Structure 1
Amino acid sequence: MTVDRSRPDLDDTTVEGLGRLSEALETMEQARGQLYGFHQHSGKADRLVQEAVELFREAGHSQLADDLDRDLVGRNVIADRWTFQVVEDFDDNYWSVFRAFDERARTELSGGDRHVLEARMKQRERTAGHPAHEAGPALSE
């Protein structure tokens, strides 16, 4: 017996709310990826500055090398923090809470089913019987 992931037992407003929350989480996942990109790019930039410092020293530009080394290499990107601390704080205090609420909403409202809104869209938009429009796993005809 196949379970219909489009959850016909749920009202449209609940399904739309689950879909909106899921979309919000997906958007936050993209933002998190950009934050991790910022973290990695910042670290790479710091390493490149360190290389520039060594090259300036080698070329005899000691004062500039010393100033860069003292004032820029290893500098906090925001008050009291390097980017790894920003990422950790974000993960611990926002992202994990966001994911927990998404899971809670799915558990309480749809028995844990994900992408119910999309499953309904698939049922509505596919052409039954077409070989490239199969219902797929856990989606009844």
Structure 2
Amino acid sequence: MGTDTIRYPDDLSDRERDALHQVELGVENLHRAHGHLVSFHHSTGRAMDHLDTAEGLLRECGYDQFADELRDEYLPRGVVAERDSDDAFGGRWSYDILETFQDTFLADIVAFGERVTGEVANGLRHAAERKQESDWIDRSRRE
């Protein structure tokens, strides 16, 4: 969008713009958290692949007890234990944590942000930044 076509809702109060901005920052930070969860999921998967390889190598070296422990205790176990569960295999795997976050909290907050932006600013995102951009352009043209 060129500088001559910048749009922002003139009828928004500073407080409305601030509220929209805080909602947008919240959504953006949750997207960052999502990225960290994706990284956590990938790093956990790589770690488990290394441990899977270690199981075979330990067995080849005659350390069956350690290989069995990896096979039976750690590789099939989730990374986060279920509360109130005695089942060692009842834990949640990293993909499950990621999917739950994506499908529930993140999706709900993104939808909330879209509803707020739609209602308060007729769907125009980044109202605070648009106002700031417009103010800076106006100032540069005046001075």
TM range (shorter): 0.7 to 0.9
Residue 41 of structure 1 is matched in structure 2 by 43
Equivalent position to 1:88, from 83, 94, 99:
99
Report the structure, 1 or 2, having the larger helix content.
Answer: 2
Report the number of matched residues. 128
Cα deviation, residue 4, structure 1: 4.4
CA distance in 2, matches of 1:55, 1:125: 63
Residue 133 of structure 1 is matched in structure 2 by none
- Aligned Cα RMSD in Å? 1.6
CA distance in 2, matches of 1:56, 1:128: 72
Indicate yes or no: 2:141 matched with 1:128. Answer: yes
CA distance in 2, matches of 1:100, 1:48: 39
Residue 128 of structure 2 is matched in structure 1 by 117
CA distance in 2, matches of 1:128, 1:55: 70
Residue 85 of structure 2 is matched in structure 1 by none
CA distance in 2, matches of 1:85, 1:120: 41
CA distance in 2, matches of 1:4, 1:50: 55
**Secondary structure of 1:128 counterpart:** helix
Identity %: 30
4+ residue stretches of structure 1 with deviation over 6 A? none
Residue 134 of structure 1 is matched in structure 2 by none
Greater relative CO (CA pairs within 8 A, separation 6+): 1
CA distance in 1, matches of 2:136, 2:6: 15
| Contact 1:46–1:74 under 8 Å retained in 2 | no
| Contact 1:39–1:87 under 8 Å retained in 2 | yes
TM-score normalised per structure 1: 0.84
Give the aligned residue type for 1:94. Answer: F
Deviations 1:20-39 (A, max 9, x none): 10011111111111111111
Cα distance change of structure 1 residues 10 and 4 upon mapping to structure 2, 3 Å threshold: farther
Cα deviation, residue 74, structure 1: 2.4
- Any stretches of 5+ residues in structure 2 without a counterpart? 83-90
CA distance in 2, matches of 1:52, 1:73: 11
Indicate yes or no: 2:103 matched with 1:103. Answer: no
Give the aligned residue type for 1:49. Answer: L
TM-score normalised per structure 2: 0.83
